Structure 1
Amino acid sequence: MSHVSDVNPLLDVRDLVVRHGTRTVVDHVSFDISPGETLGLIGPSGCGKSSTAMAVLQLRRPDSGEVWFDGQELTAMDERRLRPLRQTMQPVFQDPYGSLSPRHRIRDAIAEPLHVQGSWDRTTGPARVAELLERVGLDPTHGDRRPHELSGGQCQRAGIARALACEPKLLILDEPVSALDPSLRAGILNLLAELQERLGLGYLFICHDRALVRHFCDRVAEMRDGRLSSS
């Protein structure tokens, strides 16, 4: 668990509403996350956790409400203005294999965000990828492999390395350890804690495991039927 300073929020979600058809799946949800802080979002399947994450990332535009990130309001922005901000707010998904293309080598998957961002340099890029692999506890030679040649834990580490490529300020961690064997979960959680301490990252940590969330997170918000209560 990190020590959070008294600063302006990195992420400030205000009165967020998301509807699927006639059903409201996120119902006037508000929360904030400071730099270096982890907010845990817990609740049963179907309660609106992942819909909230998608709306924060602007992968699914909310029906109403505001999402302020790093001092800028995202919901009114067009895609061109959103693009540079997307790079500093990155997701890490539940399925470590599903989040990486099975056809691409790990090094190419990690390099892809740099190509998309337009910051890939063929001279320094390979060293940057190797540095990212080492930062998440993988040997640079793992970059030559494809996802099916890695364990679930190694694959999730590669996914975290990919998320770090664009030097984000916030990670949206959607059930990042629930698909892993219990023996591997502690290693990933320790890695996330170390990265947060070193880089000052904010985390939105989505999980259904109440004990894990209370152990790992600075604050906890519980979601039921699209609504939120904090503790």
Structure 2
Amino acid sequence: MTPLLDVRELVVRYGDFTAVDRVSFPVGAGETLALNGPSGCGKSSTALAVLQLRRPDAGEVLFEGRELTTLTERELRPIRPRMQPVFQDPYGSLSPRHRIRDAVAEPLKVQGRWNDTDGPTRVAELLDRVGLDPSYGDRHPHELSGGQCQRAGIARALASEPRLLVLDEPVSALDPSVRAGVLNLLADLQDDLGLGYLFICHDRAVVRHFADRAIEMREGRVTSG
């Protein structure tokens, strides 16, 4: 079966420094693959290259069987909604000027799927789906806790109806008790929606609990897994 995501011999360089050195892995639909390793090992650079937010210097990124690295930005535009990031900083990923409902609605508007009749209902459904009362849509990010704000970020990602979530340290900034709730939410969403997860994490205990498979990275290379 063709993997949802298939990364082959990926290379990312910053000047003379090689941040990602011939990294390869597949991720299946409904599967969580963790990239584990210390800070600076190339995990986040790999995630950015998978999302084509930082174009790789070599290698291939196949998503749903289509090679992405050769596509123009215009050709990538219809694909991007199906590959969504969830970042480490729950506050930094949402504009402080916008209410939560506007942040969740933005992907629908950008993709031309918003209308004033059904749109607000869809936003309320997304907030409810991630465990937030729809009334939280009237608040700004600073009025939410870190865990609530991360749930809002997940709702925003789900608005695009993705197949793959790239989760870059999504719980590392949260308190342990809150962390468990967000991980349980992600597990439930995966079960319900068949999402594939590329899970970036430095905490081996979290990886053992959450991931189906893990690969270890050191100095830009895969060392195990």
TM-score by length of 1: 0.96
1:133 partnered with 2:127: yes
Task: Provide the rounded CA distance (Å) in 2 between the counterparts of 1:153 and 1:223.
Answer: 28
Match of 2:2 in 1: 8
Partner of 2:179: 185
1:153 to 143, 147, 152: 147
Is 1:120 matched with 2:114? yes
1:106 aligns with 2:110: no
Counterpart of 1:78 in structure 2 is 72
Give 1:20's aligned amino acid.
Y
| Cα shift readout 1:153-172 (whole Å, capped 9, x = no counterpart) | 00000000000001000000
Provide the rounded CA distance (Å) in 1 between the counterparts of 2:47 and 2:9.
Answer: 14
- Residue of structure 2 in register with 1:61 after alignment: 55
Number of residue-to-residue matches in the alignment: 225
The runs of at least 4 aligned residues of structure 1 exceeding 2 Å deviation read none
> Offset of 1:8 from its aligned partner?
1.8
Residue 87 of structure 2 is aligned to residue 87 of structure 1? no
User: Aligned partners of 1:32, 1:162: CA distance in 2, in Å?
Assistant: 25
Paired residue secondary structure (1:91): strand
Task: State the alpha-carbon separation in 2 of the partners of residues 49 and 9 from structure 1.
Answer: 20
User: Letter of the aligned partner of 2:6 in structure 1?
Assistant: D
User: 1:183 is matched by which residue type in structure 2?
Assistant: S
2:191 aligned to which of 197, 219, 228: 197
1:207 alignment partner, one of 192, 201, 207: 201
Aligned counterpart in structure 1 of residue 40 of structure 2, from 31, 38, 46 = 46
Cα-to-partner distance string for 1:86-145 (whole Å, 9 max, x where unaligned): 100000000000000000000000001111111111111000000000000000000000
> How far does residue 214 in structure 1 lie from its aligned partner after superposition?
1.2
Matched residue, 1:3? none
Query: Which residue identity does 1:31 align to in structure 2?
Result: F
Tell me which amino acid in the other structure corresponds to 1:43. Answer: G
Alignment-mate amino acid for residue 68 of structure 1:
L
How far apart, CA to CA, are the structure 2 residues paired with 1:159 and 1:51?
Answer: 21
Q: Which amino acid aligns with 1:186?
A: A
Shift of 1:212: 0.9
State the AA in 2 paired with 1:221: I
Structure 2: which amino acid aligns with 1:33?
V
2:21 to 27, 49, 57: 27
- In the alignment, the residues of structure 2 paired with residue 204 and residue 51 of structure 1 have an alpha-carbon distance, to the nearest angstrom, of 13
